[in-house]
């Protein structure tokens, strides 16, 4: 099978290759540069003769000039210099020791936030493989690694004082009925080493600690963190949405997260912490006495187990007398009150919160919402105002674990059929600025593509489709650097295969 829409691929194996059948161009660079000017002559020794800072090129911008004598680099900052050198590496790989045509390449990113999400909770990703992932990110000029460290299926962050995270929460009995135990946890030093490794490649690691849901592994280790402790609870072995949430009314939960964020601040210098926040069914919160007390303290509810001040007390409890819609509204407010408490815990350590966006309430001012369904910056403003910025990661386009062809599943993984087919052409359709006013576009930080690992036990193989994933990556890498429009060479006729 041969695809026509790409100049160069970097595979997770580290292989750099040109796509067969693509029309030859003098410079084949990832992402495709905004400006290319060819000139007379060829360069036989592409040695960097000089580098110079030029702030007019903008943050992360660069200009690479190839002359017969060698190469000159002008860069807006340290990252721009790194990307210029990456571009030169790609030219050298393209020509494979041959002489390189002279010319000028100039580029700068459209968006400052160019992220990839790596899920190490569903399947543990060894340190060596995380480094390979970072290397691919660097080749595609992504600059932020969103590191998903906790979920129902596993907890990967060590926290002093909580030994059961490693003993219990980091290990599950099996995966989708395969009868093979699976687990893993990073050490603090390994995580620090990854931060350093990524920084050397101009990549910032942003950790994610998912809360209040996606916490079945945590609550298996520390059962009292649930509203109703379940002695039979186990680390989840399959996919889906768990109703196991931590209980905001339990002071030990707040104490635990304070310890978590203290440890994160010591490991990750990034100013951001992703707090998850999505897919959190509130069924148990509605029935939990401690949650009712939490709502009372927060001024959300006047129940909290207290009696009514009434001349003729009703034999019906206050909770029973409330309409179900009122309970739902209060519990929804409880969710965002809990977010505010978590936001305060990280803010005292100089961090800002990022959340998966759910259109149910107001996120803290200054936080960032990752939209992963069909929403956009305008939708976020309707619920949270204009002080919450946005990252685009629509699942039907930016999820790299989605199949690109019917039945395109990793070897040995069952095809559940619920994932939509995400074609390469579909990836090229994404434009975060579509339909937005200039002011709304200002709140768009950038784009993120996500590699969830429920069905992907080995990211180095990147399932059965390494080339097709790389094709999508090329588009999603180029989008935050250029105008984001589908140019003539990328229209529908370009997406043929034979």
Q: Give the integer Cα–Cα distance in Å for 299 and 61.
A: 49
Instruction: Identify any residues that bridge with 391 across adjacent strands, giving them in sequence order.
Output: 370, 446
DSSP H or E run through 424: helix 424-427
Which candidate, 173, 178, 278, places its Cα nearest to that of 234? 173
- Cα torsion 338, 340, 343, 344: sign: negative
Is residue 20 exposed (0-12), middle (13-18) or buried (19+ Cβ within 10 Å)?
Answer: exposed
Q: Is 49 helix (H, G, I), strand (E, B) or coil?
A: strand
Yes or no: say if 125 and 7 are a contact pair by the CB < 8 Å rule: no
Q: Is 75 helix (H, G, I), strand (E, B) or coil?
A: strand
User: Is residue 279 flagged as an active site residue?
Assistant: yes
Task: Provide the phi-psi class of 459: left if phi over 0, else alpha when psi is between -120 and 50, else beta.
Answer: alpha
Yes or no: say if 394 and 380 are a contact pair by the CB < 8 Å rule: no
Q: Give the integer Cα–Cα distance in Å for 229 and 231.
A: 6
Q: Give the integer Cα–Cα distance in Å for 391 and 397.
A: 14
Which candidate, 43, 49, 93, 99, places its Cα nearest to that of 74? 49
Q: Is 161 helix (H, G, I), strand (E, B) or coil?
A: coil
User: Is residue 24 flagged as an active site residue?
Assistant: no
Distance of CA 424 to the CA centre of its chain: 20
Q: Give the integer Cα–Cα distance in Å for 210 and 150.
A: 6
Yes or no: say if 142 and 152 are a contact pair by the CB < 8 Å rule: no
Distances (CA, A) of 254 to 155, 165, 346: 18, 16, 12
Tokens encoding 71: 């190469």
214, 282, 330, 454: the catalytic one is 214
258, 279, 379, 425: the catalytic one is 279
Q: Give the integer Cα–Cα distance in Å for 393 and 418.
A: 19
User: Is residue 151 flagged as an active site residue?
Assistant: yes
Yes or no: say if 78 and 412 are a contact pair by the CB < 8 Å rule: no
CB atoms within 10 A of CB 354: 26
∠ CA 483-486-490, rounded to 5°: 130
107, 151, 389, 401: the catalytic one is 151
Residues noted as catalytic: 151, 214, 279
């Amino acid at each position: 099978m041969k695809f026509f829409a790409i100049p160069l691929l970097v595979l997770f194996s580290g292989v750099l290759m040109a796509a067969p059948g693509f029309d030859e161009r003098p410079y084949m660079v990832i992402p495709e540069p905004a400006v290319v000017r060819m000139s007379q002559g060829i360069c036989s020794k592409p040695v960097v003769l000089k580098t110079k800072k030029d702030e007019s090129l903008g943050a992360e911008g660069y200009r690479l000039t190839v002359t017969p004598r060698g190469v000159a680099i002008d860069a807006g900052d340290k990252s721009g210099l790194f990307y210029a050198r990456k571009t030169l590496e790609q030219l050298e790989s393209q020509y494979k020791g041959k002489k390189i045509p002279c010319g000028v390449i100039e580029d700068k990113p459209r968006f400052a936030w160019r992220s990839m999400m790596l899920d190490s909770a569903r399947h543990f990703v060894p340190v060596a493989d995380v480094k390979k992932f970072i290397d691919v990110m660097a080749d595609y000029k992504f600059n932020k690694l969103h590191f998903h460290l906790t979920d129902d299926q596993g907890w990967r962050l060590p926290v002093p004082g909580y030994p059961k995270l490693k003993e219990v929460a980091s290990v599950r009995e099996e995966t989708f009925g395969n009868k093979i135990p699976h687990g893993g946890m990073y050490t603090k030093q390994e995580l620090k080493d990854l931060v350093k490794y990524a920084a050397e490649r101009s990549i910032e690691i942003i950790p994610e600690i998912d809360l209040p849901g996606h916490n079945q592994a945590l609550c298996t280790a520390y059962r009292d963190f649930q509203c109703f402790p379940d002695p039979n609870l186990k680390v989840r072995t399959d996919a889906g949405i768990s109703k196991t949430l931590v209980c905001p009314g339990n002071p030990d939960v707040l104490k635990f997260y304070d310890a978590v964020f203290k440890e994160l601040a010591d490991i990750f210098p990034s100013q951001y912490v992703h707090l998850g926040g999505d897919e959190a069914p509130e069924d148990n919160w509605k029935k939990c006495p401690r949650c009712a007390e939490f709502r009372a303290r927060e001024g959300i509810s006047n129940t909290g187990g207290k009696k009514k001040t009434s001349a003729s007390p009703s034999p019906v409890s206050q909770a029973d007398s409330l309409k179900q819609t009122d309970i739902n509204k209060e519990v929804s407010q409880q969710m965002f009150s809990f977010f505010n408490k978590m936001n305060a815990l990280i803010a005292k350590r100089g961090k800002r919160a990022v959340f998966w966006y759910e259109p149910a309430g107001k996120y803290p001012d200054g936080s960032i919402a990752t939209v992963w369904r069909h929403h956009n910056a305008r939708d976020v403003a309707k619920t949270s105002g204009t002080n919450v910025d946005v990252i685009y990661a629509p699942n039907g386009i930016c999820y790299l674990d989605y199949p690109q062809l019917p039945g395109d599943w990793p070897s040995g993984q069952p095809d559940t059929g619920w994932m939509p087919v995400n074609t390469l052409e579909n990836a090229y359709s994404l434009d975060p600025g579509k339909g937005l006013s200039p002011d709304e576009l200002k709140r768009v930080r950038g784009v993120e593509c996500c590699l969830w690992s429920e069905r992907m036990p080995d990211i180095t193989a990147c399932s059965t489709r390494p080339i097709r994933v790389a094709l999508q990556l090329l588009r999603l890498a180029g989008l935050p650097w250029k105008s984001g429009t589908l140019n003539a060479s990328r229209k529908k006729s370009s997406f043929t295969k034979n």
